[in-house]
Amino acid sequence: MLIYSLITARSGSKGIKDKNIIDYNGFPLIYHSIKISQDSKFIKRTFVSTDSEKYASICKSYDAEVPFIRPSNIAQDLSTDLEVFEHFINYLKEHNEILPDIILHLRPTYPNRNLKLLNTCIETFKNNIHNYDSFRTVCAFDKLPQKMYYIENNTLTPYYKEYNGMKEPYNMPRQLFETSYIHNGCIDLIKTETITNLNSMSGNKIFPFIMNDIDDIDNIEDLEKSKKNYKKY
């Protein structure tokens, strides 16, 4: 089963300038995602999609493949993962490259992933691939969506006015609800055909891999916390 990784690293981060190449324990942050991809016995090729020539040069120095510079129109704050992955797949097609069966999405902001976790995730998805469109790591979440609201016209409005036949779930005891999980973005695996045939990054059936929370770097505070936890992970 052919697996490529795609590390997505645009240059316009707001919380930390040039976050994806900031020093993290002696290496650019993105290096840690490149290295773990290269170390996995399951991954054939490691690609980086970036809009920055500088980022591309750094990634190439660590033997990652950066065959194109991502167009600026899909490297904006509101650009979607689907746009980036479609661009990657179209590039492979246009250059007569073999398409992988699975694409591993690695975000550079999780430098503390370990190889055992990554390989376990890949092997788990491979063993279940005929029943699922994609695979995502998730963490248990202590907040319940059934009890959440949004504000519209200065009015507090519940997202769920009814849930599984239960009226006003936002007024009910939390013990009546199942555990909630949140997609943490640490490791995502997607069938290429899910993107090409379903025009989706997840498809209709997602395999849930429950894991403990792991540091995601978005700002300086996250960065310092993650560095302190580096050896533990």
The pLDDT score that the predictor gives to residue 75 is: 95
pTM for this one? Answer: 0.93
Class of the CATH-defined domain 3-137+183-229: alpha beta
Query: For residue 143, what are the CA distances in angstroms to 137, 178, 182, 210, 232?
Result: 18, 11, 10, 16, 27
- Digitized pLDDT (tens) for each residue of the chain, 233 residues in all: 999 999 999 998 888 999 999 999 999 999 999 999 999 999 999 999 999 999 999 999 999 999 999 999 999 999 999 999 999 999 999 999 999 999 999 999 999 999 999 999 999 999 999 999 999 999 999 999 999 999 999 999 999 999 999 999 999 999 999 999 999 999 999 999 999 999 999 999 999 999 998 889 999 999 999 998 887 77
Amino acid letter, residue 117? L
* Cross-strand bridge partners of residue 166: 163
Query: For residue 74, what are the CA distances in angstroms to 63, 188, 197?
Result: 24, 20, 21
Choose among 112, 101, 86: nearest CA to 189.
Answer: 101
* Token pair 């555990």: residue: 179
Choose among 121, 122, 115, 96: nearest CA to 42.
Answer: 122
List, in order, residues 6 or more apart from 18 with CB less than 8 Å away.
11
Half-sphere exposure of 70 (CA within 13 A, CB side): 31
Amino acid letter, residue 154? N
> And the tokens for 6?
């795609």
DSSP code per residue over 98-133: PPPSEEEEE-TT-TT--HHHHHHHHHHHHHHGGG-S
The pLDDT score that the predictor gives to residue 10 is: 94
The pLDDT score that the predictor gives to residue 213 is: 85
In angstroms, rounded to a whole number, what is the distance separating the alpha carbons of residues 226 and 233? 10
